């Protein structure tokens, strides 16, 4: 037997991270590995984290999860992108929609042609050339081959789901795969005197749960990676100053929108996540500019329907662990770090960490090069997402002191270079570690008011008349397609409505 292979894995924490990890390990490692998850009912979970990005579908597919079943069980709705309302200035709005925008011509990226047309006054807003954007704004949903013309791209989608129901769904799945659940409060952690590795966690009632490898999914507490091993935390508050959120669910209101809405306010922003049975809402802010009471009052004044629970304040620090893997502990989810929820990246980061564990193989005594590479990949991924989120805050034209302060934030060199490249003839290049594609960056750069100063040579080669005619044709093609789609509510009613949405309780 290979002594490095972990035969016994203990997952500490049963939130979204813990149960996603348990489900995946249970599925892929099966009977040869003993997998135990410890969670505390007394502590509970963070209870937010309900918007995803399209990669979640790969997770479901890899685990053989039936999507219709998953949607019904979690009260999920479809998400075609995120609307950013008021982020550039009050009254302005754009979408970071999933999927492609426009169409490239040969080696010429669509953005080059659009930028030139925009400067000439010939272009519609960028989103008018995205099927996802058009469908989101029209409240439509469709999955599969185009209905009107095979040249129309398919719409990628993600989901909004109930976090509590999702954890419960994955728990049933994981336990069916043999994962053992232990409920109890961890009060102590045992370590090997020589290696410093974690050997067991001890519960308040005296139970001891051992393991070869420990996955720290204990949330913001970071019980193993932080408290026990003392791995440092890179604090990114100087780049992303929001450090509080207040969250509250409310009654749903029609129409059922197929996108997450992020609305900028005088300080921070508010999320709106529509589910089948309720709407999730929250205000993200910085306590140096807004008190908890003010944020709560602002949130309650901007709901679609009656609040369904008491508002709950969550404190956080943006940043990440200096190592996600230390000794025989791998941190995942909030224990590994947190970038605020603006682009719904945290659940994806859990998925990405699970994929990384599978790629490297769950070992308890890795070679230094293996652990270093693992940690570098994690750090690079976090830094690229951080840059993307900073861009939304930094490139604003709002007048309030909070937003003026955001304009004066120091830009990471990697982001400053990205912006400078784009400003010069629309250059965009995707690093291997970048979660977001050129098209994602394009939508946010343009949405936040950054337009290339000069045209790309390939776009200059097209006549103005041809450019205008081609853009009109694309828009007409995509609009006709979207007009053929059912509404989001009708689509859900037809394909995947929860049997009793009002009865969905986490
Ligand atoms: C305001 C906010 C909004 C967010 N919105 C989004 C979003 O829209 N999209 C997205 O992708 N992500 C979002 N996130 C992130 C998302 O919520 C998390 O990534 C996700 O919920 C995973 O959390 P977790 O499992 O790491 O932690 P938690 O849910 O906090 O779970 C921690 C677990 O550890 C257990 N535990 C802790 N200490 C002990 C102990 N001593 N003994 C036993 N058990 C213990 C707890 O009981 C719990 O089971 C948001 C986060 C915040 C703060």
Cis peptide before 90, with omega less than 30 degrees from 0?
no
Question: What distance in angstroms lies between residue 353's CA and the mean position of ligand 1's atoms?
Answer: 15
pLDDT of residue 434: 94
Nearest one of 343, 318, 337, 445 to 53, comparing CA atoms: 343
Tell me, using a 6 A CB cutoff, whether residue 477 lines ligand 1: no
Return the best residue to mutate from 24, 83, 218 for the ligand 1 pocket (most ligand atoms within 8 A of CB): 218
> Is the beta carbon of 334 within 6 A of some atom in ligand 1?
yes
Query: Mean per-residue pLDDT for 430-449?
Result: 96
What spacing in Å lies between the alpha carbon of 6 and ligand 1's midpoint? 25
Q: Which segment of 46-50, 72-76, 306-310, 360-364 scores lowest on mean pLDDT?
A: 360-364
* Residue 412 reports pLDDT greater than 50: yes
Q: Give me the pLDDT at residue 441, please.
A: 98
Which atom of ligand 1 is least distant from the CA of 344?
A: 9
pLDDT surpassing 60 at residue 2: no
Q: Which atom of ligand 1 is found nearest the CA of 333?
A: 26
State residue 31's pLDDT score: 83
Mean pLDDT of 143-159: 97
Average model confidence (pLDDT) across the chain: 96
Tens of pLDDT, residues 355-379: 999 999 898 889 999 999 999 999 9
Give pLDDT, residue 65.
97
Ligand 1: centre distance to CA 16 (Å): 6
In this prediction, residue 1 has a pLDDT band, given cuts at 50, 70 and 90, of very low
User: Residue by residue, what is the 3-state secondary structure of 248-295?
Assistant: EEECCCCCCCCCEEEEECCCCEEEEEECCCCEEEEEEECCCCCCHHHH
Atom of ligand 1 nearest to the CA of 187: 41
Residue nearest to atom 14 of ligand 1 (CA): 49
pLDDT of residue 505: 66
Q: Is 177 a catalytic residue?
A: no
Work out which ligand 1 atom sits closest to the CA atom of 271: 8
395 in ligand 1 pocket by Cβ < 6 Å?
Answer: no
The whole-number average pLDDT for the span 381-403 is: 98
Cα–Cα nearest to 295, from 311, 279, 310, 306: 311
Find out whether the beta carbon of 280 lies less than 6 Å from any atom of ligand 1: no
- In the block, tokens 């995947």 appear at 496
Q: Is the pLDDT of residue 336 over 60?
A: yes
Summarize pLDDT for 19-61 with one digit per residue, the tens. 999 999 999 998 889 999 999 999 999 999 999 999 999 999 9
Cβ atoms 386, 410 nearer than 8 A: no
Give CA separation, 167 vs 164, 219, 363, 449, in Å: 5, 14, 26, 39
- For ligand 1, whether the C-beta of 212 sits within 6 Å is no
């Amino acid at each position: 037997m290979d002594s490095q292979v972990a035969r016994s894995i203990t997952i500490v924490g049963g939130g979204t991270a813990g149960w996603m990890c348990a489900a995946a390990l249970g599925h892929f490692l099966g009977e040869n590995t003993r997998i135990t998850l410890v969670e505390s009912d007394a502590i509970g979970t963070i209870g937010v984290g309900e918007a995803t990005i399209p990669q979640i579908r790969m997770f479901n597919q890899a685990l053989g999860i039936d999507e219709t079943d998953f949607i019904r069980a979690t009260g999920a709705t479809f998400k075609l992108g995120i609307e950013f309302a008021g982020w550039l200035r009050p009254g302005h709005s754009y979408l970071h929609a999933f999927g492609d925008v426009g169409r490239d011509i040969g080696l010429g990226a669509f953005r080059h042609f659009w930028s030139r047309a925009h400067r000439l006054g010939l272009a519609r807003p960028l989103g008018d050339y995205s099927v996802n954007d058009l469908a989101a704004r029209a409240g439509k949903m469709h999955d599969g081959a185009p209905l009107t013309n095979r040249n129309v791209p398919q719409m990628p989608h993600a989901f909004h789901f109930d976090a509590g129901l999702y954890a419960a769904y994955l728990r049933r799945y994981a336990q069916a795969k043999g994962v053992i659940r232990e409920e109890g409060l961890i009060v102590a952690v045992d370590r090997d005197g020589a290696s410093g590795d974690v050997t067991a966690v001890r519960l308040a009632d005296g139970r001891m749960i051992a393991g070869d490898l420990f996955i720290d999914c204990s949330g913001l507490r970071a019980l193993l990676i932080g408290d026990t091993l003392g791995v440092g935390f890179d604090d990114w508050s100087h780049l992303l100053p929001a450090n509080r959120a207040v969250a509250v669910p409310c009654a749903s209101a029609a129409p059922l929108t197929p996108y997450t809405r992020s609305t900028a306010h005088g300080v921070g922003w508010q999320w709106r996540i529509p589910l089948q049975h309720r709407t999730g809402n929250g205000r993200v802010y910085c306590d140096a500019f807004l008190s908890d009471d003010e944020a709560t009052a602002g949130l309650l004044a901007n709901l679609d329907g009656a609040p369904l629970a008491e508002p709950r304040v969550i404190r956080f620090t943006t940043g990440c662990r200096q190592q996600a893997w230390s000794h025989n502990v791998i941190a995942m989810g909030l224990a590994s770090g947190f970038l605020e929820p603006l682009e719904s990246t945290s659940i994806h980061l859990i998925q990405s960490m699970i994929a990384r564990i599978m790629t490297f193989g769950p070992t308890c005594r890795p070679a230094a090069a293996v652990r270093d590479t693992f940690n570098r990949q994690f750090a690079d991924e976090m830094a690229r997402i951080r840059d993307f989120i900073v861009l939304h805050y930094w490139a604003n034209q709002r007048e309030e002191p909070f937003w003026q302060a955001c304009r004066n934030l120091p830009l990471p060199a990697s982001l400053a270079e990205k912006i400078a490249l784009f400003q010069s003839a629309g250059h965009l290049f995707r690093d291997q570690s970048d979660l977001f594609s050129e098209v994602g960056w394009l939508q946010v750069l343009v949405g936040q008011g950054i337009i290339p100063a000069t045209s790309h040579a390939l776009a200059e080669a097209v006549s103005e008349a041809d450019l205008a005619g081609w853009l009109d044709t694309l828009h007409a093609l995509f609009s006709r397609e979207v007009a053929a789609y059912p509404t989001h509510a009708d689509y859900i009613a037809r394909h995947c409505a929860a049997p009793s949405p009002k009865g969905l309780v986490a």
